[in-house]
Amino acid sequence: MTVEPAPGERTEQPVSGEPTQRPATGTTGTTGKGEETRNRIVETALRLFEERGYEKTTMRAVAQEAGVSLGNAYYYFGSKDELVQGFYGRMQAAHARAAAERMRGVTALGERLLLTEEAFLVEARRFHPFAGKLFAAAADPQSALSPFSEASVAARESAVQIFRDVVSGAEVKADARVLAELPELLWLAHMGLVLFWVHDRSDRQRRTALLVRRSVPMIDRLVRLSRLRPLRPVAHEVLDLARDLRSPL
């Protein structure tokens, strides 16, 4: 769903002093002033997406509002899709840092998962007004903005890693296969939570916070019950189904 720039937009050159070779997608490519510029472009794009919608926001408008040349904007982000991927990356990094800080010294799986999801709600709160417009674009299965797309591999892997950290730092007795596949399952559950959060119009998304508080203990109990011999085959059937649904037909 990448929207191509108007004819001639890519012919502008970066301002003097900027490197001419773009950094790899998903990387900062520079530090200091360059990182500040990159962040300003992302913040400006988020504001314009909220005000105008994704489709009506152009790279030229983002560059003008951010106070950079169009060539500079394309140096950091090759398209609007890449710009959103940059937002995904920033969001995952902030979530990971906040979750790690909250989980420090905590070894109970349920508590670690609760703290991680609460960290997401805090870090994502200011983006909630914009989230619905982004979701409208990302909901298309063919869109590069979809969290399940090839373009989102880096952001998806970063998100799953957050839940790997949740599980690896926990002291929990459970079926070995369940524990091995648990991080990705937790990420899938998290995506359901994000969808609920996008549509949550309660004050400060209190309904989503309630969902987190009520669902995490259930997940914790189910994980622990997986070690019981009578329940192990059922747990493995669930894992088999999840695996088959992820595999190409």
pLDDT in tens, 195-205: 999 999 999 99
Candidate CATH numbers 3.40.1190.20, 1.10.10.60, 3.10.20.600, 3.40.350.10; the one for domain 9-78 = 1.10.10.60
pTM of the model: 0.82
CA end-to-end distance (rounded Å), the chain: 24
Q: Helices 33-52 and 128-138 sit at what angle, rounded to 10 degrees?
A: 80
Whether the pLDDT of residue 16 is over 90: the answer is no
Domain ranges of the chain: 9-78, 82-246
- Report pLDDT digits (tens) over 79-107: 988 998 988 988 999 999 999 999 999 99
* Higher-scoring residue by pLDDT: 38, 21: 38
Given a contact cutoff of 8 angstroms between Cβ atoms, the answer to whether 154 and 87 are in contact is: no
CATH 3.30.565.10 fits 82-246, yes or no: no
pLDDT at 40: 93
pLDDT at 209: 98
* Cβ within 8 Å of residue 55, ≥6 positions away: 3, 137
Question: What is the distance between the alpha carbons of residues 61 and 112, in angstroms, rounded to a whole number?
Answer: 42
Judged on CB neighbours under 10 Å (0-12, 13-18, 19+), 223 is buried
Question: What is the distance between the alpha carbons of residues 63 and 75, in angstroms, rounded to a whole number?
Answer: 11
* Cβ within 8 Å of residue 31, ≥6 positions away: none
Given a contact cutoff of 8 angstroms between Cβ atoms, the answer to whether 95 and 163 are in contact is: no
pLDDT at 249: 62
- 3-state SS record for the chain: CCCCCCCCHHHCCCCCCCCCCCCCCCCCCCCCHHHHHHHHHHHHHHHHHHHHCCCCCCHHHHHHHHCCCHHHHHHHCCCHHHHHHHHHHHHHHHHHHHHHHHHCCCCCHHHHHHHHHHHHHHHHHHHHHHHHHHHHHHCCCCCCCCCCCHHHHHHHHHHHHHHHHHHHCCCCCCCHHHHHHHHHHHHHHHHHHHHHHHHCCCHHHHHHHHHHHHHHHHHHHHHHHCCCHHHHHHHHHHHHHHHHHHCCC
